[in-house]
Amino acid sequence: CFCKLKGQIDDCSCSVDTVDHFNNAKVFPRLISLLEKDYFRFYKVNLKKECPFWADDSRCSMRTCHVKTCHEDDIPLGLKGHDLHDENMAVKYLKASPDSDDENECIEDDLDPELGFLNTTISDLAYKGFELWQAYDDSQENFCTLPDEDGDAQYVDLSLNPERYTGYKGSSAHRIWRSIYMENCFRPKESYSDYIRSSMLNDLCLEKRVFYRVISGLHTSINIHLCSNYLFSAKNLLSRDSDFENWGHNLEEFKRRFNPEYTDKEGPQWLKNLYFLYLLELRAVAKAAPFLTKAKYYTGNDEEDGETEVAIKDLLSIVRSFPDHFDESSMFSGGQQALKLKEEFRQHFKNITRIMDCVGCEKCKLWGKLQVQGLGTALKILFSGKFDRATHTEPSYVNRSFQLERSEIVALFNALGRLSTSIHEIEVFRQMMR
Ligand code: FAD
């Protein structure tokens, strides 16, 4: 039975059983409770960007595709750029200043206002210059376009917009998948159906196989979520009325997609690609662990932020204890040719991030963008070279040259959370089949 998926995961040194056990018992429960924290729940995204490749399809108007964005008041203050520690200090200072003591007066006297202004301007400029250079330097290493921080970007509370069945299908969805596989996946064959046949994969070099596997793994994960959170009610999806909705696991839909009798024997291979992608992202998190341990998970709520830091440390120690991590060192090793291939790899991946703006269903676009950004962050950690020293826990490791934006960290953990949930859901389907 295809649901007793077993054996080695291609291009990795561990088995499906090992991953199932490690994920379901250890990673999944911790990751799910971590992702409920405010720091990870709120994600800023621009869902209004124009599709750069073709005239937009008609937008999906079904209520299942709708994304509920945050009201300004819902967003934690710390995420809106308020540093509550600084503000508290400022309030304290202001309160203290009316009866200012000698020490404060002395500091005032020592300051030449003009020189002080000049000094701060010069250091501000130097800092800005450094930041610009740093941003340029980082963008050269990125696998994604930069996070959406522009005018149309809005915060979304992910817990209020779960990834699940939306009804998005047909030519629009197929066009997205086809253009991802055909135009951006190193296309070894002329036709789509030829391309997705696993037997063809052996003709590809390791790096190109990896590229295909991660995309196929992502596709598998998205489709598992729609099967395990399926809408059974027969109500009209165009209506805003969501009463009496009936959501649950749809075993028949799962079988239709992954049972070899339906899918020309590719289904089990697609499931294995999900495990492959999971191992790749798990390795990225393990590799960046020294950075992630020291990062600040600041939302302005001290109690919750403290809990988030403890939960992160706990999860990272579990992730690092995994014995059979994906080995990225065998990729892109071999002079000029390898560098060229790496650049191609990056360009193809960046293209996929742009294709996400063409997805016709808002909810699918939200989760597609988030997961692609998470995957891009994982690729940056694995292949930019900037995180290579992360395996040694030296304090100097956490310096400005290893920067991850908050949105990258949020996307990385949420993307891993989606894969971890999919692997957990496969176990649920296995039990339903039994
Ligand atoms: P599709 O999944 O559209 O696949 C097209 C073809 O690709 C298949 O016929 C098969 O030959 C091949 N294929 C299928 N799976 C794989 C794989 N894992 N690896 C390689 N090849 C494969 N729908 C929702 O209900 N909820 C969502 O949140 C959602 N998010 C989406 C996000 C994105 C970015 C996209 C592009 C689509 C999303 N969809 C979502 C739509 C969903 O993925 C399917 O496209 C839709 O359900 C139609 O399915 P299908 O059976 O026609 O085959």
Residue 360 sits at φ, ψ, to 5 deg, of -80, -15
pLDDT of residue 214: 94
**Each residue's pLDDT tens digit, 361-377:** 999 999 999 999 999 99
Per-residue pLDDT, 113: 42
Which pLDDT score, from 0 to 100, does residue 265 have?
75
Q: Which two tokens stand for residue 113?
A: 């206002």
| 300-349 pLDDT tens trace | 999 999 999 999 999 999 999 998 888 888 888 878 888 888 888 888 89
The one-character DSSP state at 58 is P
Determine the Cα–Cα distance for residues 371 and 365; give it in Å rounded to an integer.
Answer: 10
With a 6 Å cutoff on the Cβ, whether 358 touches ligand 1 is: no
Pocket of ligand 1 contains residue 176 by CB under 6 Å: yes
**Nearest-5° angle of CA 333, CA 334, CA 339?**
80
The band of 135, judged by pLDDT with boundaries at 50, 70 and 90, is low
Q: Give the C-alpha separation, 388 to 393, whole Å.
A: 11
Q: Is the pTM of this model over 0.80?
A: yes
Which tens digits make up the pLDDT trace of 89-131? 443 333 333 343 433 333 333 334 444 444 444 455 555 554 5
In the three-class reduction of DSSP (H, G, I as helix; E, B as strand; rest coil), residue 93 is classed as helix
**Residue 209, pLDDT score:** 87
Running DSSP on this structure, what letter comes out for residue 55? P
CA–centroid distance, 216 to ligand 1, in Å, is 10
Q: Please tell me the residue having the least CA distance from ligand 1 atom 37.
A: 173
The verdict on the CB of residue 222 being under 6 Å from ligand 1 is yes
Distance CA 408, CA 147 (A): 8
The answer to whether the CB of 186 falls within 8 A of the CB of 175 is no
Phi-psi region of 154 (alpha: psi -120 to 50; beta: other; left: phi over 0): beta
Please report the beta strands in 185-289, taking only residues with DSSP state E, as ranges in sequence order: 230-231, 247-248
Alpha carbon nearest to ligand 1 atom 1, residue = 174
- As a residue count, the chain comes to 434
Please work out whether the CB of residue 34 comes within 6 Å of at least one atom of ligand 1.
Answer: no
Assess contact for 72 and 157: CB atoms under 8 A: no
Name the amino acid, one letter, at 355.
I
Inter-residue contact 104 to 93 (CB < 8 Å): no
Q: How far is the CA of 223 from the centre of ligand 1 (A)?
A: 6
Tell me the C-alpha distance between 254 and 53, whole Å. Answer: 32
The pLDDT value given to residue 61? 76
- Per DSSP, 12 falls in state S
- Region 165-193 average pLDDT: 79
Q: What are phi and psi of 140, to 5 degrees?
A: -70, -25
What is residue 62's predicted lDDT score, i.e. its pLDDT? 83
